């Protein structure tokens, strides 16, 4: 069967490059369009893009000519790695023109009719798509994935939330420099240092994203989850991998073994469907006393960079329990999150029955 | 007036070197004895010690011949930078022989009759000295300073505790590699990494040191303060300076301005006495949105490395308020803490009336 | 066909772990013995070894019981990751007992009858094996691989040397911390720093290893190559990958294009034989103006960590040309070098005709 | 006596801040004008400048209102920290208007009538000032200081050159990130990495700056020194301090002791004049086998950051000798270099006889 044609908006930036890298050799998708700013449009990708990831730029994209970020390219899905200055309008134009937009930008994350999606956590929020298309009169639609630090926090909490009800969360993040893009954090600022501030990050975690992600879809909208979160966000001198110290209180206090069991038994829809980018398992619990660590564990699991790694579960003197969470910020926390969202859309039939069959056949194998 | 003769136990190690550095040119103290392990005893300090601090080894100690760690040296105070494997017994021998032992080791910190001391926080705990001398039949005595991460946490909490009563504390530390001594943390472990575990550190903060430090001396012992603390301790790739994300709940919720005022107006005994190593002020509140930072702020204040720097005070969605605390771990958090303790002992007359006068004259000036 | 049984001496250390990692799933070899110090012998590998590499310890070795480092284990080849304090004698005992010893230790590198080997560079030095066995009356024998910084320098020079004759070399190394083993370089020493000294390293490069490697085997010994080398060796804060700034003068000055051609056309015996760990190509020339870089390029090529990466070839105002060389120090520069040596021995029939056929069949495919 | 009024052009940038820091409390100079881009002009310095150095912004400049970079301010000397995009013309305008311009920018360094100056090395090049004023019809004039990596290389070579004649130099630099300004090098590029390329740097060292600095002034111009230099320039993950591995060949080969003596006895004019920012001594030779190191030694000497530190002198197998050189790149290598130039101008009477007396009185003291 033919692969599904996809495009990347903002293909030359740090997140755009990750999309290109992750899509190379993808079993369902093939890149047919790379779009960039007007300044770069018309150039070869290899000429316009300073490739910044380990390994070489995939040969298949080197000679592709960059298109402007306007509807027109021959593809069904566009992955948006656009900066927030331009993402808002451009994504709307593509959705209006019938494209499926899987966005990593923050612009539409909090729109009531746009799914903020982690396939393992809230696939039922895809119901918002119909609401969105109807409300906006669009042929296509927009889905988004959460911020990198939220993604792994909520991934770790979700299996606990469904069983025991998460009420209160303390989280202190130690975030990698790649989370700020490229060039992002100056070496002058971070060598031999920690910066105890990341603009807007604490607000996203405390008030916006986890509540929507863990909220309930009622057919017309998402009722935010009722939980209290306190977040301190810090930038540390790691390249990749956000590490988070988390303390949690539940509606009903489980035993420590019940928590471990909730993570161990966690096999949500994305894993059941065997989506190509869904790690098996979704959550890894590492029993070693000094893990997870960013350098050693950010690529752990069956799909490097897509799993959430947890460790050091122990009682908390204030709330019920505490533990460490680690996840890759530019793979699952950015481009990989959007990609998995697109795979879920395929498997759920949002690209038509034929492609859903494709997904099912994978699942059967 | 003649200076007070002091010795350093464990003078060749990382903390021992800091003692030597901080005592160089001290207005009250002069080093007359450097003691080290049997392996080094008999050697010149310059030959036995691989000097590890910025700047050169002070000329005045280069040719001093290292003594064994046994009572005998001609001095009144000994500063102990001994490792915990040997500190326990050796410190007792010196105290029994009439020396005043100002120790940075953890061995006697939790003994009910040994002061665990931060001069700004609990000078009244010096009352334990009489209890200790009586109980043990010693001519001398032992005082200790807390662990590096506890020191700055409690320094920040103390002015709040006396006004509003601290009830609950959530703290996540990001600690510098020098906290593990030399060679300490392998570069293989910490480059591009964070280690979410420091052996024994969380226990000290959660259950032992803050409670004793903030406890009440009742004439015969210290009644631990009644507060709940949850601590996550992490090692990050900074050289010096422990940064801590702190959330606090009080007995009675103050306003944000009242907290700022409590820190601003803080002028405890050590500062009133103008002890030579007491920073003026003891606490610095930095209003910039991304401060304090280890590299930029660990040496802030009038006595570099001795102040506690606070920033980012803001409401906390779970407890009352949250903020960041930073302090130098090998200066105030280790050798400098012991040194300030010794200065307090002098000023309070524990070395005799004459020396107390010396201190008073400083205070008057 | 059955795999060849191999053992690892010093299996729990940093280099030992690399051997275990590289041997996992090897097409020709299988680990049947892991040997360690007396302290560890008798323990499970998983219990005695603090696994330090990215990814998990291979499941196949977790339960293997560590043996002492004495002849006895059921295997034909032993890879030696022993420290130089003990490597000398132990390796001799194994060779005397009939084992083939492929050593990464420096002890026997300079013995006149022991091959110091890079398969691409001097496979004809295997002729020393007969000399060695005869002289020492051994059933087995020892081969060694060079020091990590020498390996990549000589790999880069070899294709030039055979065509144009290398006369003078100026080299300044910037070496990764993993070159010092674990725990090796203290984080206290290397954060925000460069250490312009690595004990013994300059002597190895200036006087010992390149001369033997590029020397001529005359049937009974190796006549050292006649070239002058000046080396400055530095330790920098990279985890892996030694970077070297090199200037060269030749017997006859080639054109710049001739140098590029010499590297491009380089297909030595190891690559012709398609040894499983021989990278294709052996040398990668990167044309980008700011490459090679340790983090981006140390794993470049078909067998990650085994190729030598070169860049920035340009005229030199003093000698003829200058360029940068990069190579992975703990893969090709240590365990991987020994492993490739063993593969060459198999292919050349040193383990018997049958195994050589095995190698030939690979080559044919 | 009144201090000399000085201004800083480009006062808000990284080098501009260093000028402000170094001028705070200067015995001869006081800042009366801070100039910046049009965007910042009119703002308070404290509002327009994100202070990036350790320690606080000096109180004396916080409230100064930034002026545009045009002639007019009430001062005699202007220090230029302008970027090369604008430095060329603006500096000319100031010089034409009668100001003495001490510039750190590269624009006029290679003009035949502009001194490229290190006070210890070529004070006689001040003779160019008259040539310059005459040729250009200016009332003021421009002097420049060399690039940060050249400065310390030439400082180390100068005492050797005057005695033994330097003929050939190999140098490989390992340069700190601050050399690229702020934000400069992205943390994404330099963590766990070395970048073997700094645009334009090798050309400056190989062909431009050392030759002019060590050249002879013949009354009308500078005849470049006749020496061959090969330079490889690398960026490493240190914050401050450029480390350089140097090999040298002389016209006549001296003994190793003669080299040490040349450095030890080095007391050039700037030191004889006791210029306030001239370190005593100018060159420090450190005998320890693993020194100098950037973190430990970049602030060595009587004026922190102004001395050149040398170590590891030993024979070189290719040229005569080799050694390591270290110097602070943003102090002596930038703002501090310009400042010392200005002090030399004062002492030599370029600001009038009165001020020269001021300088002489210092010298007498």
Indicate whether A107 and A159 sit together in one domain.
Answer: no
Could you confirm whether B211 is annotated as catalytic? no
CA distance A301 to chain C (A): 9
Same domain? B60 vs B134: yes
- Taking only the tens place, the pLDDT of each residue in D299-358 is 999 999 999 999 999 999 999 999 999 999 999 999 999 999 999 999 999 998 767 666
Please tell me the predicted confidence (pLDDT) of residue B179: 95
The question of whether B232 is a catalytic residue gets the answer no
Closest of D9, D8, D147, D145 to residue D90, by C-alpha: D9
Q: CB atoms < 10 A from the CB of A277, how many?
A: 23
By Cβ distance, the residue of B54, B192, B300 closest to D192 is: B192
Closest chain C CA to residue A239: C295
Q: Which range marks the domain in which residue C76 is found?
A: 4-147+334-364
Same domain flag for D160 and D246: yes
Whole-angstrom CA distances from C204 to B76, C117, C123, C213, D319 are 53, 15, 21, 12, 19
Predicted complex ipTM exceeds 0.85 = yes
For every residue of chain A, which 3-state class applies, written as one string?
CCCEEEEEECCCCHHHHHHHHHHCCCCCEEEEEEEECCCCCCCEHHHHCCCCCCCCCCHHHHCCECEECCCCCCCCEEEECCCHHHHHHHHHHHHHCCCEEEECCCCCCCCCCCCECCCCCCHHHHHHHHHHHHHHCCCCEEEECCCHHHHHHHHHHHHHHHHHCEEEEEEEEEECHHHHCCCCCEHHHHCCCCECCCCCHHHHHHHHHHHHHCCEECCCCEECCCCEEEEEEEECCCCCCEEEEEEEEECCCCCHHHHHHHHHCCCCHHHHCCCCCCCCCCEEEECCCCCCCHHHHCCCCCCCCCCEEEEEEEECCCCCEEEEEEECCCHHHHHHHHHHHHHHHHHCCCCCHHHHHHHHHHHHC
Q: Report d(CA A330, CA C363) in Å as an integer.
A: 41
B329 in Cβ contact with B176 (< 8 Å): yes
- C160 with C303, same domain? yes
CATH assignment of the domain containing B210: 3.30.360.10
CATH code: domain of residue C10 = 3.40.50.720
Interface contact D245, partner B, CB < 8 A: no
Domain count, chain A: 2
- Taking a contact as any Cβ pair under 8 Å apart, which residues of chain C between 8 and 27 contact chain B? 14
Using 50 as the pLDDT threshold, list the residues of chain B that sit under it.
365
How many residues does this entry show for chain A? Answer: 365
Catalytic residue among A49, A102, A148, A233: A148
Q: Are residues A298 and A340 in the same domain?
A: no
Of B175, B186, B241, which to mutate for an interface test with C (greatest number of C Cβ within 10 Å)? B186
Rounded to a whole number of angstroms, the distance from the CA of A189 to the nearest CA of chain D is 8
Min Cα separation D288/chain C (Å): 10
Q: Which of B108, B152, B242, B328 is catalytic?
A: B242
The residue annotated as part of the active site, out of C148, C158, C161, C233, is C148
- Please name the helix (run of DSSP H) or strand (run of DSSP E) that holds residue C233, with its range, or none: strand C228-235
Specify whether A242 is located in the same domain as A130.
no
Are A293 and B193 in contact (CB < 8 Å)? yes
Q: CB D230 to CB C322 under 8 A?
A: yes
Q: pLDDT tens, position by position, for chain C (365 residues)? A: 689 999 999 999 999 999 999 999 999 999 999 999 999 999 999 999 999 888 889 999 999 999 999 999 999 999 999 999 999 999 999 999 999 999 999 999 999 999 999 999 999 999 999 999 999 999 999 999 999 999 999 999 999 999 999 999 999 999 999 999 999 999 999 999 999 999 999 999 999 999 999 999 999 999 999 999 999 999 999 999 999 999 999 999 999 999 999 999 999 999 999 999 999 999 999 999 999 999 999 999 999 999 999 999 999 999 999 999 999 999 999 999 999 999 999 999 999 876 766 666 665 54
Tens of pLDDT, residues D90-135: 999 999 999 999 999 999 999 999 999 999 999 999 999 999 999 9
Is the same domain home to A169 and A132?
no
Beta-carbon separation of B191 and C52 below 8 A: no
| D322 and D179 together in one domain | yes
Report which of B260, B275, B291, B297 is spatially closest to residue B159, judged by C-alpha positions.
B260
Task: List the subunits that have 3+ CB pairs under 8 angstroms with A.
Answer: B, C, D
The string of pLDDT tens digits covering residues C285-328 is 999 999 999 999 999 999 999 999 999 999 999 999 999 999 99
Residues B43 and B101 in one domain: yes
Q: From chain D, pick out residues whose CB is under 8 angstroms from the CB of A185.
A: 186-188
- Quick one: pLDDT at residue D52? 84
Q: Is residue A137 located within the same domain as residue A155?
A: no
Among the listed residues C124, C129, C116, the one whose alpha carbon sits nearest the alpha carbon of residue C218: C124
Residue A2, pLDDT score: 87
**In this structure, are C162 and C294 located in the same domain?**
yes
A196–B292: do the CB atoms touch at under 8 Å?
Answer: yes
Asked whether residue C321 falls in the same domain as residue C340, the answer is no
Q: Write the pLDDT tens digit of every residue in B32-84.
A: 999 999 999 999 999 999 998 888 899 999 999 999 999 999 999 999 999 99
**Which residues 6+ apart lie within 8 Å of D214 measured at CB?**
D121, D122, D154, D157, D158, D161, D166, D225, D227
């Amino acid at each position: 069967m033919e692969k599904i044609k996809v495009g990347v908006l903002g293909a030359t930036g740090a997140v755009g490059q990750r999309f290109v890298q992750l899509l190379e050799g993808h079993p369902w998708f093939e890149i047919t369009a790379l779009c960039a700013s007007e300044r770069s449009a018309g150039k070869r990708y290899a000429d316009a893009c300073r490739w910044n990831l380990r390994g070489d730029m995939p040969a298949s994209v080197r000679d592709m000519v960059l298109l402007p970020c306007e509807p027109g390219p021959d593809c069904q899905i566009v992955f948006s790695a656009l900066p927030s200055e331009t993402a808002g309008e451009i994504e709307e134009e593509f959705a209006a023109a019938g494209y499926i937009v899987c966005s990593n930008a923050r612009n539409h994350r909090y729109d009531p009719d746009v799914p903020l999606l982690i396939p393992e956590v809230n696939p039922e929020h895809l119901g918002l798509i119909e609401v969105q298309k109807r409300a906006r009169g669009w042929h296509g639609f927009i889905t988004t994935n959460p911020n990198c630090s939220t993604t792994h926090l909520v991934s770790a909490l979700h299996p606990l939330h469904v069983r025991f009800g998460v009420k209160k969360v303390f989280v202190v993040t130690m975030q990698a420099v790649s989370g700020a893009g490229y060039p992002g954090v100056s070496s002058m600022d971070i060598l031999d240092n920690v910066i105890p501030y990341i603009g807007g990050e604490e607000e996203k975690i405390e008030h916006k994203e986890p509540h929507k992600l863990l909220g309930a879809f009622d057919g017309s909208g998402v009722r935010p989850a009722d939980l209290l979160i306190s977040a301190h966000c810090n930038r540390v001198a790691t390249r990749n991998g956000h590490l988070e110290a988390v303390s949690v209180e539940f509606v009903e206090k489980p035993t420590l073994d019940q928590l471990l069991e909730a993570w161990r038994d966690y096999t949500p829809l994305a894993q059941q469907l065997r989506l190509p980018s869904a790690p098996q398992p979704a959550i890894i619990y590492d029993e070693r006393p000094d893990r997870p660590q960013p350098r050693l564990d950010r690529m752990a699991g069956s799909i490097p960079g897509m799993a959430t790694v947890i460790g050091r579960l122990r009682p908390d003197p204030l709330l019920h329990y505490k533990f460490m969470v680690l996840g890759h910020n530019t793979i699952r926390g950015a481009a990989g999150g959007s990609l998995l969202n697109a795979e879920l859309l395929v498997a759920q039939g949002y690209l038509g029955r034929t492609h859903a069959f494709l997904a099912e056949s994978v699942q059967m194998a």
